[in-house]
Amino acid sequence: MKSLPIYAIALFVFISTVTFAQESYQLAASKLSVAGTSTLHDWESEVTEVNVQASLDMVDGQLQAIPGFMVKIPAKSIKSTKGRIMDNKTYGALKADDHPTITYKLTSTKIQDDSKLTASGKLTIAGQTKTVSFPVKMKKGSDGAITFSGSYSLLMSDYGMDAPTALMGSIKTGDEVTIHFSCTLEPGKATANSK
């Protein structure tokens, strides 16, 4: 039997190392909100349920890549401080009965250093999917957890949504809304819920 060439052995060792570095992560904590304006007052709604699937490539405690990252949010888990009337208008704008889930699927990352990266992915709201890109801050914990945080502004009209109105149209929300997010991932199972 012929022995394996040295380059084949080296390639096998390299592939094994890369595979070993990839870990599944679970959501340990999250805070997600949507903020906007209206002709009456500014407003903010909180997301009360977030579902995450994530895998990270780590080498010596440093993030090398994010081969998998998916976020799913039930549209009706978005709750306003203004009460049920505002919630129902939000669900109407989101077309939540026909499209009950908001999703974000990461497609690529550009890691600048150990504290920030740029994330690109597919964001689906109200049945419309757009490619989005935004900066993300990273903070590593001593327990191996990583917290990602940032914000992203979008226009509701880009996703085929009509800005909610009240009092026969005399009060209208602005077209632009800003999503603020912070999520902490820790090594573990691939899927987790946060409420």
Q: What is the pLDDT of residues 147-163, one digit of tens each?
A: 999 999 999 999 999 88
The answer to the question of residue 131 being in a domain is: yes
170: domain range?
22-194
Whole-model pTM? 0.81
What's the domain count of the chain?
1
| CA–CA dist 91, 45 (Å, integer) | 12
Q: What is the pLDDT of residues 120-145, one digit of tens each?
A: 999 999 999 999 999 999 999 878 89
The answer to the question of residue 4 being in a domain is: no
Q: What is the pLDDT of residues 95-120, one digit of tens each?
A: 999 999 999 999 999 999 989 999 99
The answer to the question of residue 6 being in a domain is: no
The answer to the question of residue 65 being in a domain is: yes
The answer to the question of residue 172 being in a domain is: yes
pLDDT of residue 37: 86
Residue carrying the six token digits 């009965």: 97
The answer to the question of residue 10 being in a domain is: no
Positive/negative CA dihedral, 93, 176, 45, 139: positive
Q: Which two tokens stand for residue 42?
A: 């500014």
Beta strands in the chain (DSSP E): 22-38, 43-47, 50-59, 62-74, 78-80, 101-113, 116-125, 128-140, 146-155, 165-166, 171-187, 191-194
DSSP string, 89-137: HHHHHHTTTT--EEEEEEEEEEEEETTEEEEEEEEEETTEEEEEEEEEE
The answer to the question of residue 120 being in a domain is: yes
Contact 145, 28 (CB under 8 A): yes
Q: What is the pLDDT of residues 43-85, one digit of tens each?
A: 899 999 999 999 999 888 889 999 999 999 999 999 987 778 8
CATH number of the domain where residue 139 is located: 2.40.128.110
Contact 57, 63 (CB under 8 A): yes
pLDDT of residue 188: 78
The answer to the question of residue 124 being in a domain is: yes
Nearest residue to 104 via CA among 65, 70, 73: 70
